Amino acid sequence: MTETLKLISHKLCPYVQRAVISLTEKGVPFERIDIDLDNKPEWFLKISPLGKVPVLQIGDKAVFESAVILEYLEETLPNPLHSKDPLTRAEHRAWIEFGSAVLGDIWGLETVADEATFNAKAKQAADKFARLEARLVAAPWFDGEKFSLVDAVFAPAFRYFDVFEEIGDFGILDNKPKIARWRKSLRERPSVVAAVSAEYPALLRTFMKKHKSYLSQLDQRAAA
């Protein structure tokens, strides 16, 4: 591949982080362009049919949807993160879809404004993580010794909890020893560390404050 890949991104987006982690694991240089989702540039709206990041730009083509971007990177770049075995690949794709459902619950956790809805979302998320715990190998990665796309997908999900847990103890990841082990391995992986900047925690807090979310109310009460 000769063209430099351009990844249209956002500093907080967990779907963007999946693609960044994959590209970093593959050791392929790329240009990351972070945009303001509250003020989307015209050029971005032209290439992003859903108005969402990530978008991977290759020449005059624009590939959108993170799961599709991950598959394209697998098909075109070295250092595979997908298994050679079709059944394992299919199962991993299913868990990637599950990872997107988890991100949906997390969106609720970071944005809902009232305690009752927050608690309902926390229960939904805890149930999903219990399902994940039952499947997980976590020695040290999702399916054992090889870092895979499923690892790239869940690392950004766990990153939220590093900030949530500074605000309060919501018990969502309690009593899940394999998840705890996996989360620690992911947190230390260089590609995961490099997928966001040092300002990530502060930016996430600002985002939650903008939404006047229940979590940001707790955060502000603690700071007062």
Contact residues for ligand GSH, defined by CB under 6 A:
10, 13, 15, 37, 51-54, 65-67
CB neighbour burial string for 93-110, b if at least 16 within 10 angstroms, e if fewer: bebbebbeebbebbebbb
CA-to-CA separations, 185 to 56, 96, 173, 189, in angstroms, rounded: 28, 18, 15, 6
Decide if 107 is catalytic: no
Q: How far is the CB of 218 from ligand GSH (least distance, A)?
A: 23
Q: Which is nearer to ligand GSH, 35 or 138 (CB)?
A: 35
- Burial tier of 39 (Cβ tally within 10 Å: 0-12, 13-18, 19+): exposed
Q: Which is nearer to ligand GSH, 51 or 171 (CB)?
A: 51
Q: How far is the CB of 208 from ligand GSH (least distance, A)?
A: 14
In whole angstroms, give the CA distance from residue 169 to residue 149.
29
Q: Which of 13, 149, 163, 167 is the catalytic position? A: 13
Q: How far is the CB of 181 from ligand GSH (least distance, A)?
A: 27
Q: How far is the CB of 137 from ligand GSH (least distance, A)?
A: 25
Sequence-distant (6+) residues with CB within 8 A of 93 are 67
CB 48 within 8 A of CB 23: no
Q: Which is nearer to ligand GSH, 57 or 66 (CB)?
A: 66
Among residues 162, 184, 18, which one has the least CA distance to residue 92?
18
In whole angstroms, give the CA distance from residue 8 to residue 65.
12
Q: Which is nearer to ligand GSH, 53 or 186 (CB)?
A: 53
Q: Which residues are catalytic?
A: 13
